[in-house]
A and B are shown apart, each in its own frame.
Chain A
Amino acid sequence: MEFFDVAWRLLVVMLAFLVLPLLVGQAEHKVMAHMQGRVGPMHAGGFHGWAQLVADGVKFAQKEDIVPAAADRRVFQLAPAVALVPYLIVLIAIPVAPNGVVGQVVDAGIFFVLAVLGVGVLGQVMGGWASANKYSLLGGMRTAAQLMAYELPLLLAAASVVMASGTLSLPGILDVWQWWWLPWQLVGAFVFFVAGVAELHRPPFDAPLAPEEIIFGPLTEYGGLRFAFFMLSEYAGIVVISALTSVLFLGGWHGPFADQLGWLWMLLKTAALCFLVIWMRVAWPRLRADQIQRFAWTCLVPLALAQIALTGVVKVVFL
Chain B
Amino acid sequence: MGLPGSGLAKGLAITLRTMTRRSVTAHYPDVQPELPARSRGVIGLFEENCTVCMLCARECPDWCIYIDSHKETVPATTSGGRDRSRNVLDRFAIDFSLCMYCGICIEVCPFDALFWSPEFEYAETDIHELTHEREKLREWMWTVPEPPPLDPAAEEPKEVGSARKAADKLAVQLAEQLEQEQLEQEHGEAAEAADPGTPGAGTPGPAADSGAAEPPTTDRPEKPERPDRSEPSDRSDRPGPPEDRRQGREGEA
Given A279-B15, A283-B15, A38 and B8 touching (CB < 8 A)? no
Collect the chain A residues with CB atoms within 8 Å of residue B27's CB: 39, 42
Collect the chain A residues with CB atoms within 8 Å of residue B16's CB: 35, 279
Dominant secondary structure at the A interface: helix
CB–CB A33/B15 < 8 A: no
CB–CB A39/B19 < 8 A: no
Q: What is the CA–CA distance of A283 and B10 in the complex, to the nearest angstrom?
A: 9
Given A283-B8, A284-B8, A35 and B15 touching (CB < 8 A)? yes
Smallest CB separation, A294 vs chain B (Å): 14
Q: Nearest CB to that of A204 among chain B residues?
A: B8
Task: Indicate if B78 sits at the interface (CB-CB under 8 A).
Answer: no
CB–CB A39/B25 < 8 A: yes
Collect the chain A residues with CB atoms within 8 Å of residue B8's CB: 283-284
**Among candidates B11, B12, B23, residue contacting A37 with C-beta atoms closer than 8 Å:** B23
Q: Nearest CB to that of A281 among chain B residues?
A: B15
Binary contact readout B101-139 vs A (1 if CB under 8 angstroms, 0 otherwise)? 000000000000000000000000000000000000000
Q: Nearest CB to that of A36 among chain B residues?
A: B18
Dominant secondary structure at the B interface: helix
Collect the chain B residues with CB atoms within 8 Å of residue A39's CB: 23, 25, 27
Collect the chain B residues with CB atoms within 8 Å of residue A288's CB: none
Q: What is the CA–CA distance of A280 and B18 in the complex, to the nearest angstrom?
A: 14
Binary contact readout A15-42 vs B (1 if CB under 8 angstroms, 0 otherwise)? 0000000000000000101111111001
Task: Indicate if B158 sits at the interface (CB-CB under 8 A).
Answer: no
Binary contact readout A215-254 vs B (1 if CB under 8 angstroms, 0 otherwise)? 0000000000000000000000000000000000000000
Smallest CB separation, B40 vs chain A (Å): 27
Collect the chain A residues with CB atoms within 8 Å of residue B12's CB: 279-280, 283
Among A33, A34, A39, A42, which residue has the most Cβ atoms of chain B within 10 A?
A34
Collect the chain B residues with CB atoms within 8 Å of residue A284's CB: 8, 11
Q: Nearest CB to that of B24 among chain A residues?
A: A37
Collect the chain B residues with CB atoms within 8 Å of residue A35's CB: 15-16, 18-19
Task: Indicate if A152 sits at the interface (CB-CB under 8 A).
Answer: no
Smallest CB separation, B19 vs chain A (Å): 5
Q: What is the CA–CA distance of A283 and B5 in the complex, to the nearest angstrom?
A: 13
Among B15, B16, B25, which residue has the most Cβ atoms of chain A within 10 A?
B15
Q: What is the CA–CA distance of A70 and B226 in the complex, to the nearest angstrom?
A: 73
Collect the chain A residues with CB atoms within 8 Å of residue B15's CB: 35-36, 279, 282-283
Smallest CB separation, B247 vs chain A (Å): 29
Smallest CB separation, A204 vs chain B (Å): 9
Collect the chain A residues with CB atoms within 8 Å of residue B23's CB: 33-34, 37-39
Task: Indicate if B14 sits at the interface (CB-CB under 8 A).
Answer: yes
Q: What is the CA–CA distance of A284 and B7 in the complex, to the nearest angstrom?
A: 9
Binary contact readout B20-38 vs A (1 if CB under 8 angstroms, 0 otherwise)? 0101110100000000000
Smallest CB separation, A29 vs chain B (Å): 13
Q: What is the CA–CA distance of A115 and B27 in the complex, to the nearest angstrom?
A: 48
Collect the chain B residues with CB atoms within 8 Å of residue A282's CB: 15
CB–CB A31/B19 < 8 A: yes
6 closest Cβ contacts across the A-B interface? Answer: A283-B11, A35-B15, A34-B19, A283-B15, A35-B19, A39-B25
Could you tell me which A residues sit within 8 Å of B by CB distance?
Answer: 31, 33-39, 42, 279-280, 282-284
Write 11 A-B pairs (CB below 8 A) sorted by A numbering: A31-B19, A33-B23, A34-B18, A34-B19, A34-B23, A35-B18, A36-B15, A37-B23, A39-B23, A42-B27, A279-B16
Taking A36-B18, A279-B12, A284-B8 as known contacts, 20 extra A-B pairs with beta carbons closer than 8 A to each other, sorted by chain A number, are A31-B19, A34-B18, A34-B23, A35-B15, A35-B18, A35-B19, A37-B21, A37-B24, A37-B25, A38-B24, A38-B25, A39-B25, A279-B15, A280-B12, A282-B15, A283-B8, A283-B11, A283-B12, A283-B14, A283-B15
